[in-house]
Each structure stands twice: as C-alpha cells, then as structure tokens.
Copies of this chain bind each other. A is one copy, B any other.
Amino acid sequence: MSTATVSRALSSPDRVSEDTRARVFRAVEQTGYTLNQAARSLRQRNSRTILVALPDIGNTFFSVVLDAIEREAVLRGYSVLVANRFAGHDSGRRLHEYFLSNRADGLLLLDGSVPLESLLALAAPPAGVPLIMACEDIACAPFHSVRTDNEFAAEVATRHLIGLGHRGIGHIRGPDGNVLTEEREAGYRRALTAAGIAIRPEWILPAGFDMQQGLAAAERYMALSSRPSAMFAANDETAIGFLSGLRQHGLDCPRDVSVVGFDDLAFAAHFWPPLTTMRQPREALGRIAAEALIDLIEGEPRRRVPRHTVLSSELIIRGSTRAFAPASQRPAPVV
C-alpha cells in the first residue's frame, strides 16, 4: 500500500475503499502512528494554529478571554500560540517572524498599542495575514474587530452615580495612550455633560489599569482640596487599588465615596465592599473573536469589508455605590 493511499484514508476516508480504510486504521492503531504536523504544514502551507498576542497574560482580564479563545480554537481544530507583552519596540519584527513562516495562520490581537503600520503591512498582500482585533481596537483600523461598547458603558456607569444623587463625580483614568482609556473617559464626560454637571479636570486622576496605580490614585484623591463623593474607575483593578488606598486614610466606601469599576472580574463580587461595576462579557469576547478569526482563515474568498462586532456591557450594582448623602448626614466613623 502506498503512502498516498494511507494519506487519503486518513484525511478523506470516503475516497478509499472500505477494506483499505479498515486496514489503515488498524495499522495506525497498532503502530501508534501520528502524522507529522510539520510535513503537513509545509505541503499545505498552513499550520492550523492561531497566534494570540496580548499585553499581559498574567492579568486576569486577559487570561479569561484567552481561556475562551483557546476553547473555541480547540473546538475548531486549531492550536493556540501565545505571545505575551506584545507591544514594544520590536512588535513589528516579531509579527514578521511569526507569520510568513507557516507558524500561525492568523493573528488575534488583544493589544491596541501595536503600531498600525506593522499591522497594515502584515494584513496587506503578499502576506495577507488574517487578523482580528479584540478588546482593544485601534480607531479606524481596517480590520475586523470584536469589542465592547466602552464609551456607552462608561456613560451608563457614570449615569448610575448621577442617578444616586451624586454631583461631584471623579474619574480614575486608565493608562495614557490606550484606546480604552480615551473611550471610557469620553463616556464619563458625556454622562456628566448630559446631566448638566460641569467637568472638573482636577477630578480626573491619572492612573493605569493595575492595583498599584489605583492605590496611587487614592493618594491624589486625598490630596484634593475638594473631593468628589463618587468615582468611576477605568477598571476593577484600579478601583480595588483605589479602595485599598482610601481605607489606609480612614475613608470608607460606600459611606464616604461611592466607586464604580469596569470589567466585573471574578474577585469584584467577593471584594469588600462588593464592587458595583460594568460587566464585560469576557467569554463572549474571546469566543466570538476566535470564531471570527477562524472563519476569516477558512473563508474563501477573504471578506474585504471589516466587520466590527460590538458587545454590550451590563451594569452590576453591588455595595460600593450608594445614594449621595451630605457629609453632615453620614454616620460618624467607627474607631
């Protein structure tokens, strides 16, 4: 029996006779044969592997998205390569190395800070690498994308605080240069403006997406001469760090300050106080992005028009927000 027949028996069983098929399967079973993926990749010019590039796997937000991506990929018969801390001076070169080399058939990019020109070069012929941006989109980039409606969600979060009677509402910003930072701040501003509340720039505290920065933001908050009674934090980690910092200064949430986060990490519900937050559908983000990428890889002909999928976030009200009460009406602090 020739190798050609064996190959056909394994990859398109209905093209060989029943007898042959049975013999091949039996032989495979007995000898423990597995096909050499490298040889197949070389010949077929694909690898049935996707590359997921993200800024920080260690961050629980991304790791849950990655979880969903991996699950969907395996379902569709793909392996998952991860590239962590992707953005950086050499991200263009790294992209180049991963593709045009039959290592991965497509790129799932969870990092909006990769230089657009590298991506354009990658997605354009002759490389023509299928590419999906997820979570962090690059504005106006001509790629398919899957994300949440950050601006609207931020507006909803801020409106929630307004609805509770707060008028002094500050914002803890994400890292500079991140799309999400801008979108969430824009939503925050929009909500205030719509409610006729003036924006006080000194109440927009620079921070980042991690707890340390949230902690630092608490210091800035304490240093304010006049302090807002509520804060909308760019994400849950920042909110948690901020609350932790407030506590060190003897302030209590929600008695003294109401705080809304963003993401609804698993920890948010068990934190004290349980965090009011905008839930991002992280599993759905990952799953839909992976689906879209694999469709793009397998689809013929390639869909040219970028499709932007926008998922919505959900306000989860917990204990970290409460109706505004003037300082005089608040219970005395417990010592």
Residues of A with Cβ closer than 8 Å to B? 32, 34-39, 41-42, 47, 49, 56-60, 62-64, 66-67, 70-71, 74, 79-85, 96-103, 211, 215, 240-241, 243-244, 247, 266-267, 269-272, 274, 334
A37 touches B211 (CB 8 A): no
A82 touches B85 (CB 8 A): no
Taking A35-B101, A36-B102 as known contacts, 10 extra A-B pairs with beta carbons closer than 8 A to each other, sorted by chain A number, are A34-B101, A38-B41, A42-B42, A60-B63, A63-B63, A74-B83, A74-B84, A79-B83, A211-B269, A211-B270
Chain B residues whose C-beta falls within 8 Å of the C-beta of A274 in the assembled complex: 244
Chain B residues whose C-beta falls within 8 Å of the C-beta of A240 in the assembled complex: 267, 270
* A76 CB to nearest B CB, Å: 14
Copies in the complex: 2
Chain B residues whose C-beta falls within 8 Å of the C-beta of A101 in the assembled complex: 34-38
* A68 CB to nearest B CB, Å: 8
* A327 CB to nearest B CB, Å: 20
- Please name the residue on chain B nearest to A39 by beta carbon: B42
Complex Cα spacing A66 to B64, Å: 13
Partner of A81, one of B39, B58, B79, B243: B79
Complex Cα spacing A56 to B57, Å: 13
* A21 CB to nearest B CB, Å: 20
A71 touches B85 (CB 8 A): yes
Complex Cα spacing A83 to B41, Å: 20
Complex Cα spacing A189 to B182, Å: 53
* A282 CB to nearest B CB, Å: 9
Complex Cα spacing A36 to B43, Å: 11
Chain B residues whose C-beta falls within 8 Å of the C-beta of A103 in the assembled complex: 37-38, 79
B47 touches A58 (CB 8 A): no
Complex Cα spacing A38 to B64, Å: 30
Complex Cα spacing A101 to B33, Å: 9
Chain B residues whose C-beta falls within 8 Å of the C-beta of A60 in the assembled complex: 58, 60, 63
* A29 CB to nearest B CB, Å: 12
B57 touches A84 (CB 8 A): no
B79 touches A80 (CB 8 A): no
Chain B residues whose C-beta falls within 8 Å of the C-beta of A36 in the assembled complex: 42, 101-102
